[in-house]
Structure 1
């Protein structure tokens, strides 16, 4: 059984050595952890394996599967109890295995000790088995995206106030924009909320559904379904036997199935919002009281004697800061504990701690500065200038605190922060994404060539394409240049990119070289964003044409047609029928690329609306300098790209009330008839 456990979790065999510690009652060797030296009694697991082999054919082998997943003493005790309940072994059968509650706990303790060193090695290597915090919600645009074992979410009963979560047990059928899914989730039925399995039919035209994309997923799809079915089969004995919208809800269940740890980010987000709201309200309130107090002191000497001793605002502000500090400390301890248990990746740990403590720092620093202004500046300059200064400082502090997290998210590296440090040049390959020091800051580039490799000296010349800075105050542009790599004196890192979801090496290089010379750097188009664009494709589900809906079906206005927009960097990304935002927003009906010296020039025709009338506008765009965006709409609600062009051309030179606004004109060109407001 120890061997089965090791194989299930891909633990290297070299961590365990067999010893000759046979006793008179045992014909099996023990396993000894090579790191801790503690032994693992093989007899217990061999007896269990024998029991499963003799009994497994009569029932399912779910207890055996679960035993291979457990990692704690509590879980092992639960599994032994489940085995006894499921198989109902006779006294003779259990006498052979000679297992009692004491040995249950002993086996659990030994099991944890044996794999303790393996877990520590996994942490040291930076490979975290499961993290739900970095999961991203991906809008489902095509029914072919549904797969068995997925974690999906959708607006709940009361709209977008909350999201309902479920595990896809099976995809029964798909047709057009409709999908018949077998789900395991918390369901309210017969006035009882419990884990249930049921078949639901969803239409992407009328239902907003999201896939949870896990960057670090502990269990594979088959095992996710098995875990969900295990809870379903005996939910009364599981931790999910009683629904609790705060502590054990549908999102807790789904994340537990995927990564083994129940988490609800809706609850966590609501809690963080409450903390931010309370600290802002109490902070601003105490500051306003302090201002009023100071003005009274300045205006009336008799009242001043009484008011000057009142320190209520300072007490409230200090108490708020103290509670905020305790909250940050408690959350830090919780996050670090989750990281040690491999339930949180290093990237999410760093990001969460940075955002939280930076928010606390902003709150504390602005509070101190404002108190100094109220106490010293206002009396010195008078109320005429002091009051506007106070109001301005309060508004600036609120704006600063609200923009901190947004600013950090904008600057976040799209590849994440976990990367492999290079120890020798041979670890680097062409088309890899690397990070190195550039003007004393971490910089990201894509490798195009590796020259003069010297493994002994750990040096090489590396050619890269990146957003370079020729001079300190010059305008950034994409260039291909050579760098000296010396791994003895400097650190180079390589980002791990999933080859199954990225372009091939040749395509990466061709895309990157096509943008050489570009001067469109911005906070959302940095060198790391450029490299991510060159490597990871954007799915274009609007290539698919869906069948028209029945006349009985009505437009569901809760489904918003528009869902995102992306910059256009090369002519290939601009397609006829696209909704393009350049100087004006319109439908692209003609495109012609031009070869110009060092420029990526394209001439386009857009059909736009002007005073209720459709008009054609022609623009010549240098994609290496000019900003242009492509608007993406949900394909389930839209007509084909060719039909978009024909509709836009129909409106050219015509007037109609639908063309009164830009949004109305765009929808009249791209949406199906039944989704138009006639």
Structure 2
């Protein structure tokens, strides 16, 4: 490992394993925790209170949906402080076991080094906590490795708060201990506290306390707000110093560091505003105790709203988070820009993402992006800019699996004319990510038409893994196929929306030249006890189509889905279907 290598877990992504051949040695995986695990049969969803984490040390055997894995993780955990790091051979069957891989843009160590670090923390029977370094492994040292070539013991017995399975797995990959589940739980607890406070105010009103008593209680709130701000101020300083420490230790990438700094600045501004309002109120009441009631009420409400906004800042910022969390490089000269690259510049103070389609010798760059055509409408267009007029960056794609430049340009140009901009889910950065990123896992969605032997799983109960994996927005025609379950929302003169099974796809009669973006879907749909067949005209520049993606281990083949949909349609023509009949389940789920 090189000393300047960055390890960042803040921009990591969790992805469901569709096929056992996606699993690799040295991967960080997570699974639903077995304690109080529930399978909701009506929705075919597996619900867990927490996730367990492990490192794959070896893979002994596997087929498409089964695998025998050698895992290093905290095993035999009982309570909050029992359990140790062990290496165990365990069997997994994707029909029952829901496995996720944690994908890192910035991993500090190679898979081989990750396994070596994981093995170093296994407790030995002779009491030694270190493992001698193999001769063929990397000779670089890190902050936990001494001069004799051994890695010092960092983890002891299991501790929920300081030394749990996620702390261990992230340390193996990144070199630092992180537990991102705690951050999510903390936000939920804070929101719950705010909701509880609102209920408490309602209960006080129900108790019919006198107006003077309620006012007296409310007028004390600014004083408590000041005390809270005094306590909160050191916490903000601690967060800033912690961010600085992570940056100095190369434990956070530049993108995540910038994002976290913006969050801290927003929190600090809200903190100053809350302090100033509280202090101003206290000064006014000292000088004039007979202040009217209505300004007091407004001021207290504003303070309460400001204080309540704190827990929601993180979730709001998440909505603006770009999927392109890779390093940006400043463009110094025209030759630095290549066709098919993601180009970034500032627009109204915000980062704006585009795809370069042409670079001319005159210093102009042709870009495809969401352009603001009028006040409330944005359209994907191809425009030209001069390099001399703007400060421009290009994204380093080495951390991503990307299409070839010509394919990237073809994909993004196919979406020209689209008018579906959305501030949360379909901005220019989302368009660029779709055009650039090659989704290698998509090939595993196609169900295998073979019989597999049932093997024992770690679960004593015969529960099943979740059926639905994700809902994917369709941007070009070849992202749909016969047998898919689709949600559509179209407005071609008359507004229509619904869910159906595709049994046929045709070119559009209105605009056959734009066959990638305009087409017709023949859908079998259910409305109560009636099954119907409808032809839907789709124009992806204005209409929205989403494909529901299901785990292939539970699903029929696409051909079988189509045949079942037609059979359900024929059955409905002859007789009314049962109240409990569900078309999607009938077509998709294996019997």
Please say whether Structure 1 and Structure 2 have the same fold, judged by a TM-score greater than 0.5: yes
What is the match of residue 97 of structure 2? 207
2:22 to 128, 141, 145: 145
What is the match of residue 396 of structure 2? 496
What is the match of residue 632 of structure 1? 549
1:603 paired with 2:520, answer yes
Which structure ranks higher in relative contact order (CA pairs < 8 Å, sequence separation ≥ 6)?
2
Residues 441 and 152 (structure 1), Cα distance of their counterparts in 2 relative to 1, 3 Å cut: closer
Tell me how far apart the structure 2 counterparts of residues 370 and 292 of structure 1 sit (CA, whole Å).
27
Unaligned runs of 5+ in 1: 1-7, 10-118, 123-127, 454-459, 674-678
Q: Give 1:437 deviation, angstroms.
A: 3.4
1:480 paired with 2:386, answer no
1:235 paired with 2:153, answer no
1:543 paired with 2:458, answer no
What is the match of residue 246 of structure 2? 338
Conservation of the 8 A alpha-carbon contact between 2:21 and 2:64: no
Residues 667 and 328 (structure 1), Cα distance of their counterparts in 2 relative to 1, 3 Å cut: farther
1:577 paired with 2:483, answer yes
What is the match of residue 253 of structure 1? 168
Q: How does 1:86-105 map to 2 (within 5 A)?
A: none
Tell me how far apart the structure 2 counterparts of residues 190 and 284 of structure 1 sit (CA, whole Å).
37
What is the match of residue 437 of structure 1? 346
Conservation of the 8 A alpha-carbon contact between 2:340 and 2:355: yes
Conservation of the 8 A alpha-carbon contact between 2:218 and 2:300: no
Q: Give 1:502 deviation, angstroms.
A: 1.2
Tell me how far apart the structure 1 counterparts of residues 218 and 537 of structure 2 sit (CA, whole Å).
68
Conservation of the 8 A alpha-carbon contact between 2:226 and 2:279: no
2:257 to 340, 343, 349: 349
Q: Give 1:312 deviation, angstroms.
A: 3.6
Q: Give 1:327 deviation, angstroms.
A: 1.9
Q: Give 1:373 deviation, angstroms.
A: 10
Residues 615 and 371 (structure 1), Cα distance of their counterparts in 2 relative to 1, 3 Å cut: farther
Conservation of the 8 A alpha-carbon contact between 1:282 and 1:317: no
Q: How does 1:185-584 map to 2 (within 5 A)?
A: 185-188=73-76, 193-232=83-122, 233=124, 234-235=128-129, 238-274=153-189, 280=194, 296=210, 299=211, 312-359=220-267, 361-362=269-270, 365=273, 403-416=312-325, 418-438=327-347, 441-453=350-362, 460-471=363-374, 473=375, 475-486=377-388, 490-498=390-398, 501-523=401-423, 524-538=425-439, 539-540=441-442, 541-545=444-448, 547-548=450-451, 559-582=465-488, 583-584=497-498
Tell me how far apart the structure 2 counterparts of residues 180 and 250 of structure 1 sit (CA, whole Å).
20
Q: CA RMSD in A?
A: 3.9
Residues 533 and 168 (structure 1), Cα distance of their counterparts in 2 relative to 1, 3 Å cut: same
The structure with the greater share of residues assigned to helix is 1
1:644 paired with 2:544, answer no
Residues 397 and 653 (structure 1), Cα distance of their counterparts in 2 relative to 1, 3 Å cut: farther
Residues 555 and 463 (structure 1), Cα distance of their counterparts in 2 relative to 1, 3 Å cut: farther
- The alignment partner of 1:208 has SS state of coil
- The alignment partner of 2:50 has SS state of strand
Tell me how far apart the structure 2 counterparts of residues 561 and 391 of structure 1 sit (CA, whole Å).
48
Tell me how far apart the structure 2 counterparts of residues 548 and 391 of structure 1 sit (CA, whole Å).
66
Q: Give 1:130 deviation, angstroms.
A: 1.0
1:176 paired with 2:176, answer no
Tell me how far apart the structure 2 counterparts of residues 394 and 403 of structure 1 sit (CA, whole Å).
15
Q: Give 1:654 deviation, angstroms.
A: 2.8
Q: Give 1:607 deviation, angstroms.
A: 0.9
Tell me how far apart the structure 1 counterparts of residues 223 and 207 of structure 2 sit (CA, whole Å).
14
Q: Give 1:338 deviation, angstroms.
A: 1.5
Tell me how far apart the structure 1 counterparts of residues 198 and 267 of structure 2 sit (CA, whole Å).
15
1:82-127 CA distance string (max 9 Å, x none): xxxxxxxxxxxxxxxxxxxxxxxxxxxxxxxxxxxxx6xx5xxxxx
The normalised TM-score by structure 2 is 0.79
Q: Give 1:349 deviation, angstroms.
A: 2.3
Residues 556 and 492 (structure 1), Cα distance of their counterparts in 2 relative to 1, 3 Å cut: farther
1:164 paired with 2:164, answer no
Tell me how far apart the structure 1 counterparts of residues 324 and 467 of structure 2 sit (CA, whole Å).
29
Tell me how far apart the structure 2 counterparts of residues 570 and 250 of structure 1 sit (CA, whole Å).
41
Q: After the TM superposition, which parts of structure 1 deviate over 6 Å for at least 4 consecutive aligned residues?
A: 285-295, 366-376, 389-399, 550-555, 656-659
Q: How does 1:617-628 map to 2 (within 5 A)?
A: 617-628=534-545
1:467-525 CA distance string (max 9 Å, x none): 11234x26211111211111xx5311001113761111111111111111111111211
Conservation of the 8 A alpha-carbon contact between 1:132 and 1:214: yes
Q: Give 1:593 deviation, angstroms.
A: 1.9
2:504 to 586, 590, 595: 590
Q: Give 1:352 deviation, angstroms.
A: 2.8
Aligned residues: 529
Deviates more, 1:615-624 or 1:593-602: 593-602
Conservation of the 8 A alpha-carbon contact between 1:546 and 1:636: no
1:666 paired with 2:560, answer no
Tell me how far apart the structure 1 counterparts of residues 83 and 198 of structure 2 sit (CA, whole Å).
42
Q: Give 1:269 deviation, angstroms.
A: 3.5
- The alignment partner of 2:571 has SS state of coil
Conservation of the 8 A alpha-carbon contact between 1:324 and 1:360: no
